[in-house]
């Protein structure tokens, strides 16, 4: 379910971090770092789901606290706790892969109780929650609606929650675009969604091959880049741009099943998102020049071209 675009971003991030932290190329260490990136994405997704569960469960704590007051009112003694019985939440809590990742990473301790309380108190002030607890009968659509409201309002649209997650996971904001839509996939199959299979074996192989090609072909690829820098000083070109150029050219040369346009457009988009305002245009121009040169030299072989010639 992790897209090739997200894979390219994670490979680029792994290389960028390594360039800052490591003096020499250590293949085993780098590949482990890349695997760790994918594991962290899985864990971040589980963190969000666990927070939804904890907010839902907190209604029981809240009801107990209210009823235990010295002189509880009628309202204190009759707190509606149906959120804790939400059918979707219960199915998620019975999901084996979810329980496994929560247990192995101690995600039940990720947020302290005070913060859970803070979010729950925010929730009960919302009109959506008040409507939910006044329903005479909860239908599946109602359970879905309130869970969706919780993760939208209290997690993804809540700056404090996002900041807390980002403090533990540096790639939270770059992974956000993946994690958000996955919540809908979880709600579609709450008890069967597999949290530890977010990347297929084929895509994982692509990720590691791309990482290896960057380092193993680095000198040759730079020999293709350097003549096209023209008035650009290679040492002053943004390191992010150089990494993206290297990866783009590696895809042109060594990944025959990926169309040229796809590779070029992907790295242009990534440059726009992660580098300077001019980077998209710079990466576009240079990759296109290299593409033309390699095509004229008949050094690019793509399966789509091979099939057409048969």
A 10 A CB-CB count for 299 gives 11
pTM for the full model? 0.88
The pLDDT score that the predictor gives to residue 234 is 61
- From the first residue on, what is the mean pLDDT of each consecutive set of 10 residues in the chain (310 residues)? 92 90 83 95 97 98 95 94 97 97 96 97 97 93 97 97 95 90 95 93 96 96 90 72 97 95 96 91 94 94 53
Q: What is the pLDDT of residues 258-273, one digit of tens each?
A: 999 999 999 999 999 9
Q: What is the pLDDT of residues 124-166, one digit of tens each?
A: 999 999 999 999 888 999 999 999 999 999 999 999 999 999 9
A 10 A CB-CB count for 199 gives 22
Determine if residue 298 is left, alpha or beta; phi over 0 gives left, psi from -120 to 50 gives alpha, anything else beta: left
The pLDDT score that the predictor gives to residue 237 is 77
The pLDDT score that the predictor gives to residue 306 is 42
The pLDDT score that the predictor gives to residue 310 is 32
The pLDDT score that the predictor gives to residue 216 is 95
CA distance linking residue 302 with residue 45, whole number of Å: 36
């Amino acid at each position: 379910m992790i897209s090739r675009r997200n894979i390219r971003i994670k490979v680029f991030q792994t290389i960028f971090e390594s360039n800052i932290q490591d003096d020499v190329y250590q293949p085993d260490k780098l590949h482990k770092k890349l695997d760790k990136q994918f594991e962290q994405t899985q864990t971040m997704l589980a963190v969000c789901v666990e927070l939804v569960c904890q907010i839902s469960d907190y209604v029981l704590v809240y009801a107990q606290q209210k009823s235990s007051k010295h002189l509880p009112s009628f309202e204190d003694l009759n707190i509606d706790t149906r959120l804790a019985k939400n059918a979707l939440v219960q199915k998620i809590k019975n999901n084996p892969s979810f329980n496994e990742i929560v247990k192995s990473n101690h995600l039940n301790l990720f947020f302290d109780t005070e913060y859970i309380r803070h979010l729950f108190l925010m929730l009960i002030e919302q009109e959506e929650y008040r409507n939910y607890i006044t329903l005479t009968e909860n239908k599946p659509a109602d359970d879905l609606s309130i869970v969706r409201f919780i993760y939208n309002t209290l997690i993804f649209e809540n700056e404090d929650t996002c900041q807390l997650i980002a403090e533990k996971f540096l790639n939270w904001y770059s992974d956000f675009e993946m994690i958000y839509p996955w919540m809908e996939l979880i709600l579609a199959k709450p008890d069967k969604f597999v949290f530890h299979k977010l990347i297929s074996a084929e895509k994982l192989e692509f990720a590691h091959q791309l990482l290896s090609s960057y380092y193993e072909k680095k000198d040759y690829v730079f020999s293709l880049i350097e003549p096209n820098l023209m008035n650009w000083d290679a040492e002053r070109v943004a390191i992010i741009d150089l990494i993206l150029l290297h990866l783009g050219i590696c895809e042109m040369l060594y990944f025959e099943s990926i169309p040229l346009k796809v590779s070029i457009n992907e790295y242009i988009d990534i440059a726009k998102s992660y580098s300077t305002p001019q980077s998209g245009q710079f990466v576009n121009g240079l990759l296109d020049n290299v593409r033309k040169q390699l095509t004229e030299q008949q050094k690019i072989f793509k399966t789509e071209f091979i099939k057409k010639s048969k």
